[in-house]
Chain A
Amino acid sequence: MTTLPETTKKKLGLVIDLDICVGCQACATSCKEWNTGGYSAPLSDHDAYGADPSGAWLNRIHSYEVGEGPLAKTVHFPRSCLHCEEPDCVTVCPTGASYKREEDGIVLVNPDTCIGCKLCSWACPYGAREYDYDDGVMKKCTLCVDRIYNETIPEEDRVPACVRACPTGARAFGDLGDPESDVSKSVEARGGFNLLDEFGYKPVNKYLPPRINQVADAPVAQPMTTEKSDGSKIENLFAWVDRALSA
């Protein structure tokens, strides 16, 4: 059904710490590796080793330069489905293939009923859905639904592949509908925010802000100068030559 559930029992999602992320792409490659064999399989590539490579990925890592001058900083910015509470990507689907789960809030595409009309990707302001040209269906982040409840893998692996792979701990997984969960507490403590909150889809995934640089008043390094000599005759000679040539 493409009508949205009024409430979901849980709001499973990710919290991404933009202060820690180093843009190493480990989460993106780990996501691709798991999901090309998992629920979303395959994630087809074209010309993967050629001049014009493209393919379906569920997680994309941008790097932005933010701000000007000494306060400017580089922010690495992972972008994937935010499992919104009120997304049109679900309601526009004509077949019911795109749906939001009542039990945990995960937004999924049923690959057996998707007709590949791509309308859901048009409805997503986050560019989170990627069409698979070989498979003819839409692909998106599944929050690794085939890992998080999977009792055949070790307990520590029962988190999304991106979270498991992150070497800096910039990604956390949990129930954002439970105010006592670790993820909710970190959002509360750090001022976690929604992407494009103005749009009104109510994303479940949250982002933690990068810290503001505190270097505005720091002394600025001075360039080394050769204009003044140390007083020795030979240095005075070179200083005179320098001035004469500069004139």
Chain B
Amino acid sequence: MHPAYSVILFTTSSGAGYGLLFWLSIAHAFGLAPDDRWLLFTAIALALLLITVGLLASTLHLGHPERATGAFSQWRSSWLSREGVAAVATYVPAGLLALLWLIGVDSGLTALLALLSGIGAAVTVYCTGMIYASLRTIRQWHQPSVPYIYLALAAGTGALLLGLLIGLFGHAAAWPVLLALACLVVGALLKWRYWQSIDADPGQYTAEMATGLGAIGKVKPLDPPHTRPNFVMREMGYRVARKHAEKLRKGVLLTLFAAPAVLVLLALFTGWSALLFTLAIIAAALGVATERWLFFAEAEHVSMLYYGAERA
């Protein structure tokens, strides 16, 4: 599948933003977050900025971005529509929370708003994952673990951001480090099992099923319907970087999981929280962008059976 750069930016940036919003909200709701109004406001502002940048980027791949509001209407059947509804709904409690923290109103309302923001963030990322996981045409996406990988990676990158901000505001504590570590370990395990699972499945559909000609024998393309690639081949037949998948997977394991885990552990023992979390975030950003690219590049679409693929 062709990786739309705007979609990679959207899912990684908004993912980190929703992850940050989620942990910030949960920490506040359960009284774990430092009682520092400016830390809380900075964190929620950064979360909303990352989310908004991502959402705006996601409209760039649309043919008609000006009609995007129509996408809120079909939440009964469409995960993309549900994602849009959840994203907009999350702005309401999160925006109010940001406002209350900005003007410094110490209201009992903030815990409730935080809880709603956390739920909204998790639901939105789950919907993003389900957009892919619901497509039966792409076996590398139609995996039960896909929405949970989206959730784990959003939680991991968000936890790193929260850890950095807490360090920057001089409240360095052990729990953000342990939180980030837990998310990274869960993310790495899920992703590892995901790769094992897609490697073990050669695909259940064949060119003979696609053409219905299996009774005669093996089906091979003879004359193509067009001399140059069409939309379907460019979009669904994209395979750049697939041959480097092994190397890129190792790169993801190193930059998205191993390096940040080691760096935040060092932060726990050295106290250089801000510097080490910054390095961890740089590594994880590179890693999550590579992971998302690979998620597209490794995805094989059933329609390619008509264009020479033997299985999909």
Contacts and interface: CB of A to CB of B under 8 A. Distances in A.
Interface of A: 1-3, 18, 23, 28, 52-57, 60-68, 71-75, 77, 79, 88, 90-97, 113-119, 121-127, 129-133, 135-137, 193-199, 207, 209-210, 212
B136 A88 contact: yes
Given A57-B230, A196-B302, 6 more contacts: A23-B223, A64-B220, A116-B62, A122-B137, A193-B212, A207-B212
Contacts of B218: 66-68
Given A64-B222, A79-B225, A198 B217 contact: no
B212 A124 contact: no
Given A67-B217, A117-B80, A196-B205, A62 B63 contact: no
A217 B80 CA distance: 57
Nearest to A132: B63
Max chain B CB contacts within 10 Å: which of A62, A137, A197? A62
B138 A122 contact: yes
A129 B62 CA distance: 16
A5 B70 CA distance: 21
B224 A62 contact: yes
B77 interface: yes
Nearest to A130: B231
A127 B224 contact: no
Nearest to B207: A64
B68 interface: yes
Contacts of B219: 64-66
A125 B137 contact: yes
**6 nearest A-B residue pairs (beta carbon):** A116-B63, A136-B63, A67-B217, A127-B303, A63-B223, A94-B71
29 contacts: A54-B229, A62-B225, A64-B211, A65-B221, A66-B213, A67-B218, A74-B222, A75-B213, A92-B80, A94-B71, A94-B72, A95-B70, A115-B62, A115-B67, A115-B71, A116-B62, A117-B62, A117-B80, A121-B231, A121-B236, A125-B136, A125-B301, A131-B231, A136-B62, A137-B64, A195-B210, A196-B205, A199-B302, A210-B216
B36 interface: no
Interface string B286-312: 000000000000000111111100000
Interface string B64-88: 1101101111101111110010000
B77 A2 contact: yes
B270 to A, nearest CB: 47
B61 A67 contact: no
Contact of A94 (B84, B222, B307): B84
A65 to B, nearest CB: 5
B213 A64 contact: yes
Contacts of A73: 216
A136 B74 contact: no
Given A75-B213, A95-B73, A207-B212, A115 B65 contact: yes
B204 interface: yes
Contact of A114 (B63, B78, B222, B226): B63
Contacts of B62: 115-117, 136
B99 interface: no
Contacts of A23: 223
Contacts of A116: 62-64
B220 A28 contact: no
B275 to A, nearest CB: 41
B228 A53 contact: yes
A209 B216 CA distance: 10
B4 to A, nearest CB: 8
A66 to B, nearest CB: 5
Given A113-B70, A117-B62, A117-B80, A124 B303 contact: yes
A91 B77 contact: yes
A115 B230 CA distance: 20
Given A65-B222, A130-B231, A93 B78 contact: yes
B215 interface: yes
A94 B41 CA distance: 33
A116 B220 CA distance: 33
A195 B212 contact: yes
B205 A54 contact: no
Nearest to B65: A115
Contact of A96 (B73, B236, B304): B73
Contact of B222 (A63, A68, A130, A212): A63
A135 B63 contact: yes
Interface in B176-212: 204-205, 209-212
A132 B235 CA distance: 12
A136 B59 CA distance: 13
Contacts of B226: 53-54, 57, 60
